[in-house]
Structure 1
Amino acid sequence: MSKPPHSHFDTSALPREHQFAAWRDAVNVLFDTRSAAPRSHGFRASVNAYLCGEAGLGMISAQAQHYDRSRSKLGRDGIDVYVLQYYLEGSCAQRDGASGTATRPGDLFIVDAAQPLATSTSDSRFLSLVVPRRLLAPQLRSPDELSMRLLRGDAPMVSLLRDHLCALYRTAGQLSAAEAQAVIPGTLQLAAAAINCEVTEANATAVKESLFASICRHIQQNLADLSLTPEGVAVQFGVSRATLYRLFEREGGFFNYVRLQRLRQCHAILADRSQTHRSVAEIAQTYGFSDASNFARAYRRASGMSPRETRMLALEGRAATLPFVQHKDWRTWVMQMR
């Protein structure tokens, strides 16, 4: 299985006096840059990137600097891409921009390579998506008015796109090249929805799927939170409870999904030989199953064996890779019939 092309750059292995020059040469493909500190101090910068079809996705860490893209550089290189930058640490701002227009962690900063640019950054870490104009511009309302535009990260669609790109970056190395390419059209629909500040018929499916994935990640990270409720999740993601329920119809409902994920987590712990010091009752109670008999019945329906059978296999060293067999109930079977 071929993987998406991967590229890694890091100045840390170079002599301090050569670090900034190496970085300057590397980013010269798009920007002229000047370090905000004396070059003799060295310059830490790194890029870890994947090529997903025709779009590049990478995590960049770099010390404070000034970026420029002059009109003469535009004329020389003819590069025509959008760069969507999510600043996760540090900040970026137009050098001639008004006060208060610097990015905060989580904000989206848009670079239009067909327009001049002059920015300054602090020591920062940001996730960057580079997209050819021809792929994204047709989906945008004002494709030529995005240069150095800042979108605040607390806007729901901006947050949703950030979660999607972070998840894609984390898994890009595990995808096949074909899978990485296949995810880009939906990614661009989601990006268009965030930039246009609206959901249209054309991008509604991508928005819905990304929202569903983000909520699932939130649930997975909070399985031990017994106060996890549909009302709380709906507020967290800025949707109505009815919308939340519709999203989870294919999973047999919100409560069914959460219950199954908690059973799956209990299974992972029971099958882990290093966790055999924890009692079955303790594990069950941690994930909201206070009645031992109810837990045992639910666990057997979901996994095909009892909790104690899983624990015995773990003690014998035979359960580390034991799969969690999910026997979906009839509601799910009917809903998946087409």
Structure 2
Amino acid sequence: MAGVLLSTADIPEQRQFAHWQDYICDSLVGLDCTSPTREKFQGAICNRKFGELQLSTMTSDLMCLQRSKARIARAREDDFLVAFEGRAQSYGSQDGREAVLDVDDFALFDSTRPYDVRFKPGFKHFVLKIPRSALLSRLGNPNAVTGSRIPGGSGAGRIASQFFRELEQQLDSLDRLQADRLGQIGLDLLAAALAGMSAASNQGRSTIKTAWVTRIKVLTNSRLGDPSLSPGSIASSLGISVRYLNTLFSSEELSFDRWIWELRLQRCHAALADPSQLARSISDIALNWGFSDMAHFSRSFRQRFGCSPREARRRVTP
């Protein structure tokens, strides 16, 4: 899976910064870029897409990035961005919180609200772009920790940081299916690190509920392909009652049962839209994500996406 490299190296000097602004907006989200070095500006960003995720590696001259209200008003993006610092130091702020990121540290930013990021010379940034639904399916309240420093030196933060640092180096040697599966594992690790930070920074009953919902979501994602997955099996694994599990989910957009179905349908839809998985049959994909009744799967798929699984597959068939 080769990445797409965008660099100012071969751009005429007087146009380098303008091109860099376009590279950033095309790669991440719409951002305003400022720098004291607008002439002879050097920057490079390499984007690697796998499954529903994108991991970008970025280096450049000194600069600042801002996600402004004006940009948001014109935007269609609805993503979370996780910024990992790989070298030197960077700064970020959102929702009244500020983060100073040293090597291995990371922070979460919501593209639907203003934020800004500043870099020290010599930085190397890894940015993971995550669709909102993919993170919300694993974490109760991500916005409780936006703009906060997640330490990458120990604990769950170190595991998540090192995982994505290593994944960035190995993505070029992985096929799409391998990369997609590792991406899902990485999201679980990331959710665990963010949930730990949320629990440490808040107190009270709502924090306990958020922690429980996150544990439920992480465990459910890890067992999504098991056809025997049920509220009872998850509740039993966590040592709680099914009634309490459903109570915890009462403030979520979907009930626990409906949420499982939604996740499975999303994973099947992503697989059917992936050209690298054309060799797999529709039934194989459905069975892989926990469906056992093909007729029921087809009806649910059509109801959710407005087309049959076969029609979704046909759209990417050469």
Is TM-score (shorter-chain normalized) higher than 0.5? yes
Amino acid at match of 1:106: D
The residue aligned with 2:167 is: 168
Match of 2:148 in 1: 149
Cα 1:31–1:148 change in 2 (3 A) is farther
| Contact 2:95/2:147 (<8 A) preserved | no
Report deviation, 1:97: 9.9
Matches within 5 A, 1:62-211: 62-94=60-92, 101-123=99-121, 124-197=123-196, 200=215, 202-203=217-218
Counterparts of 1:94 and 1:185, CA distance in 2: 26
Note the alpha carbon deviations across 1:100-151, whole angstroms, 9 max, x for none.
Answer: 8421111102121011112322221011111101011121131233432221
Paired residues of 1:117 and 1:147 also in contact (CA < 8 A):
no
Preserved CA contact (<8 Å) 1:33 1:65: no
SS at match of 1:46: strand
Aligned to 1:279: none
Q: What TM-score results when the alignment is normalised by the length of structure 1?
A: 0.54
Q: Is the 8 A contact 1:43 1:63 kept in 2?
A: yes
Give distance in 2, aligned partners of 1:100 and 1:27.
22
Q: Residue 144 of structure 2 aligns to a residue in which SS? A: coil
Aligned to 2:101, the other structure's residue is in SS state coil
Say whether residues 1:15 and 2:4 are aligned partners: no
CA positional deviation for 1:20 = 1.1
Q: Which residue number corresponds to residue 212 of structure 1?
A: none
2:159 partner amino acid: L
Q: Structure 1, residues 13-50: CA drift from partner, whole Å, max 9, x if none?
A: 2222221111111112414333332312x111111221
Any conservation in 2 of the 1:186–1:206 contact (CA below 8 Å)?
A: no
The structure-2 alpha-carbon separation of the partners of 1:44 and 1:121, relative to structure 1 and needing over 3 Å to count, comes to same
2:81 is paired with a residue whose SS is: strand
Q: Residues of 1 paired with 2:95 and 2:105: CA distance?
A: 16
Q: Distance in 2 between matches of 1:99 and 1:189?
A: 24
Instruction: State the structure with more CA Rg.
Output: 1
Measure, in 1, the Cα distance between the counterparts of 2:167 and 2:73: 33
Q: For structure 2, which runs of at least 5 residues remain unmatched after alignment? A: 197-210, 223-318
Match runs of 1:35-54 below 5 Å: 35-40=34-39, 42-54=40-52
- 8 Å CA contact 1:20, 1:35 repeated in 2: no
TM-score by length of 2: 0.58
SS at match of 2:41: coil
| Counterpart contact for 1:190–1:206, Cα < 8 Å | no
Contact map agreement 1:52 1:184 (CA 8 A) in 2: yes
- The CA distance in 2 between the partners of 1:168 and 1:205, in whole Å, is 23
Partner SS state of residue 87, structure 1: strand
- C-alpha separation in 1, matches of 2:163 and 2:55: 12
What letter matches 1:50 in structure 2? R
How far off its partner does 1:73 sit? 1.3
- The alpha carbon displacement at 1:5 in A equals 6.0
State whether residues 86 and 104 of structure 2, in contact with CA within 8 Å, keep that contact through their aligned partners in structure 1.
yes
Matches within 5 A, 1:258-269: none
In structure 1, give the amino acid aligned to 2:6. F
Structure 2 contact 53–128 (Cα < 8 Å) conserved:
yes
Secondary structure of the 1:12 match is coil
> Equivalents in 2 of 1:97, 1:143: separation in Å?
12
Unaligned runs of 5+ residues in structure 1 are 208-338
- Contact kept, 8 Å, 2:37 with 2:61, in 1: the verdict is no
Determine the C-alpha separation between the residues in 1 that align with 2:164 and 2:74. 31
Is contact 2:99–2:107 with CA below 8 Å preserved after alignment?
Answer: no
Alignment match, 2:56: 58
The corresponding residue for 2:236 is none
Aligned residues: 203
